[in-house]
Structure 1
Amino acid sequence: MARFRPFHAIAVLALLGVAAFPLYWMFVTSLTPSARLFGAAPQMLPDLAQLPVYLDALTTTSLRHWLFNSMVVAVGTTVLSLLLAVLPAYALSRLKFPGLLLLGFVLFLTQMLPEAMLVVPLYDIFARLGLLNTLLGLILANTAFTVPVVTWILKGAIDAVPGEIEEAAHIDGCSRLGIVLTVVVPLIAPTLAAAAVIAFFHGWNEYVFAQTFISDDQLRTASVGLASFVGELSTPVHTVMAVGFIYTLPAVVFYLFVQRYVVAGMTSGGVKG
């Protein structure tokens, strides 16, 4: 039976408090009337009488549409990134062919280009293809940035899969594609979860492409919609914090749902066998 260590427990609770405090402060600020926001003493406890601000945010704005759009973009980016990255990751890990190192370098090179530098050429390409003002366009743009990262993450996990398992599947008559889909992919499921978190967060938080490619208010993502509350002369801080708190919750819930797989995936590439 493990021995209880109070100092370790206190340290863990302290770290949890530090991690959760920004969310708590957003919640408290969202329930603080504007007249008291800039008082001499900060309000540390939420004023639950102000909870209708959340109902107002959901009913008087397009927040529900924005959250739905963000979810579509994030899930679409995650699924498409994983689908497109599995086979290149397997090729980088298992196959030997001319230009292998160059391909890996090019994948790294794509991460050196900031999104802002590609907005103009992508805008022109999407305009020609009819992808402007569509969620599909945002999914494709975000996927282009996440696939290289996901590919290298999955490659590290595939490197740790014993080759004997694939040889046994090959002897049983399984094709190369069948080996990837039925043998390798289940074995690297924890790493797939870790890569999914990265892709999901990128699609959920992305702002530059969403601001540039979308002009219809009903197709805005939540990141762009949240920024629209900032006015030139005044900004309803408590409303912004309420919307921001609601916007943060789905990403937090998603991470909590897959966090045990993420931890396993982060370490799966370090031990072979």
Structure 2
Amino acid sequence: MRPLRIGLTLRILGVLVVLGVAVFPLYWMIVTALSSNSDLFAEKARLVPDFSQFGVFIDALAEGKALGWLRNSLVIAVGTTVLSIGLGIPLGYALSRFSFWGKAIVTVLLLFTQMLPEALMVVPLFSLFRRFGLLDSLGGLILVNSAFVLPIVALILKGAIDGIPRALEESARVDGARPLTVLTRINVPLIAPSIAATAVIAFFHAWNEYVFAVTFIFTPGKQPASVGIANFIGELGTPIQTVMAVAFMFTLPAVVFYLFAQRHVVAGMTAGAVKG
């Protein structure tokens, strides 16, 4: 019994250490945001937030810019997630279930896209977006983010669909189900954990994206939070408390979304790893 208790204690300690490492950056952002200038530049760091300085959060929201940035980021992230999953499900299904010429080449090309850095594509995409009138629009950012995250979404969903027995689909076809019905009524519910995992990947990619956002968006009111926070950095001074307050508000929705979907993430990432 004693070795069992020791092992359990060590596991609990390990979980607490990992949890502390993960939560500490959020805690330190709160402490920094709720610190006065004298506390920030004192010899000893302040370890407990000063809630009398909570007005920095109210001021950041009252100005309207931070709230607008967060709204834009949410629109871009949700739009990218919906579009990439909506296109990734049929693409993953086609790669998994249909045989066609060049199927292996398509799969390799999807993998190859993940090797291309975003900065390499800025100039050609800028010219393309200017031609089609997609510059300075949230829709343009949704399209470009979806294009970059779609390959990994499709490949993850392909692996999940590979693990579904074909006999289930054949039974549905015998009963008169059409291909679209088979996909939506049989495959989609079975790969729900993988869809949740890809939703987290797509959401985080779009939520944190900076390069395309700072290049393609010109109007300050259309900027996402990833770009808006960078605008606080000035030549003569930077309001550190305001930056940390907005950064905390920018981080919190992503953390909440991950906590909401995290129980499906591990199952979704491992789905299809073992076929049969």
What TM-score comes out, normalization by structure 2 length? 0.95
3-state SS of paired residue (1:112): coil
Contact in 2 for aligned 1:34/1:236 (Cα 8 Å): no
Are 1:170 and 2:183 matched, yes or no?
Answer: no
2:51 to 48, 53, 76: 48
3-state SS of paired residue (2:136): coil
Q: Which runs of 4+ in 1 moved over 6 A?
A: none
1:200 to 196, 203, 208: 203
Q: Residue 107 of structure 2 aligns with which residue?
A: 104
2:80 to 65, 77, 80: 77
Aligned-partner residue type, residue 53 of structure 2: Q
Q: How many residues align?
A: 271
Are 1:227 and 2:235 matched, yes or no?
Answer: no
% identity of equivalent residues: 55
Whole-angstrom distance in 2 between the partners of 1:157 and 1:93: 9
Q: Residue 94 of structure 1 aligns with which residue?
A: 97
1:264 to 264, 267, 270: 267
Are 1:251 and 2:269 matched, yes or no?
Answer: no
Q: Alpha-carbon deviations, 1:53-76, whole Å to 9, x = none?
A: 000111125011110000000000
3-state SS of paired residue (1:46): coil
Q: Alpha-carbon deviations, 1:184-240, whole Å to 9, x = none?
A: 111000000000000000111111111111111111100000000011121111111
Are 1:156 and 2:169 matched, yes or no?
Answer: no
Q: Residue 116 of structure 2 aligns with which residue?
A: 113
Structure 2 unpaired stretches of 5+: none
CA RMSD of aligned residues (A): 1.3
Whole-angstrom distance in 1 between the partners of 2:64 and 2:38: 22
3-state SS of paired residue (2:35): coil
Contact in 2 for aligned 1:66/1:220 (Cα 8 Å): yes
Structure 1 unpaired stretches of 5+: none
Whole-angstrom distance in 1 between the partners of 2:137 and 2:63: 24
Whole-angstrom distance in 1 between the partners of 2:273 and 2:105: 24
